[in-house]
Amino acid sequence: MLDIILIQHIESATNLLEYRQKNTKLDKKHSDIFGGFLSAIQSLSNEINIGEISLISTTGENGHHCIIIRKDPINVILLVDQNDPIKMWRDLGEDIASKFLQDYGTPLNHLEITQFDSFKGYLQDICEITQYCEKN
């Protein structure tokens, strides 16, 4: 089940858009910390030249996958349950990134994040076609 989708400006680490399911445990404060953590991990991996981080996983009863799609100048970050199909979410993340850049272009004005609010409708439509989102 999807918990959250973050669209993050890579250079500034600004969260441009956050789409969350109703029952996710991540609130705004957590998603800011989470986004900052992922930005730091990406910077470190680039600094020591080990390649891009594309998947972080946790295990256990509440295990999750954090799938990171990098498409300059954004990252699309999806946090999903550990039992969800990673390939499906990775493919959807690619589609989300492409559509976001198609709609808003590059370069992005990452300082005016309210301009991206309308993209939540597209994310809701994506959720409607998968069985891995909460139904409204």
d(CA 110, CA 23): 28
pLDDT band at 6 (very low <50, low <70, confident <90, very high): very high
Indicate the residue type of 106: T
Give me the torsion for CA of 44, 47, 52, 57, rounded to 10°: -20
pLDDT band at 33 (very low <50, low <70, confident <90, very high): confident
Is residue 85 within 8 A of residue 108, CB to CB? The reply is: no
Question: pLDDT tens for residues 101-130?
Answer: 999 998 889 999 999 999 999 999 988 888
Judge if the upstream peptide bond of residue 85 is cis by omega within 30 degrees of 0. Answer: no
d(CA 6, CA 25): 15
Domains in the chain: ranges and CATH: 2-128 (3.30.450.60)
Residue 57 phi, psi (nearest 5): -125, 145
